[in-house]
Structure 1
Amino acid sequence: MPDTIDETLAAFASTSEGGMIILGVAENGGAFDLRGVWDAKAAVDALGSKARNKIRPPMQLGAVEAHQIEGETVITCVIPPQPSDFKPFKVGDRGRAYTRSADGDYRLSALESLHLVGAGKQPRYDRDPVLEADVVRDLELLE
Structure 2
Amino acid sequence: MYELKTKETDNSVIEFIEQVDSPKKREDAFKLLDIFTETSGYEAKMWGPSIIGFGSYHYKYASGHEGDAPLVGFSPRKAKVSLYFAPGDPEREKLLEEFGKHTTGKACVYINKVADIDVDLLKDLITSSIKFLRETYPENN
Higher strand residue share: 1
Tell me which protein shows more helix as a share of its residues: 2
TM-score bucket of the superposed structures, by smaller chain: under 0.3
Please report the TM-score for the alignment, with normalisation by the length of structure 1.
Answer: 0.27
Q: Which has the higher contact order (CA 8 A, sep 6+)?
A: 1
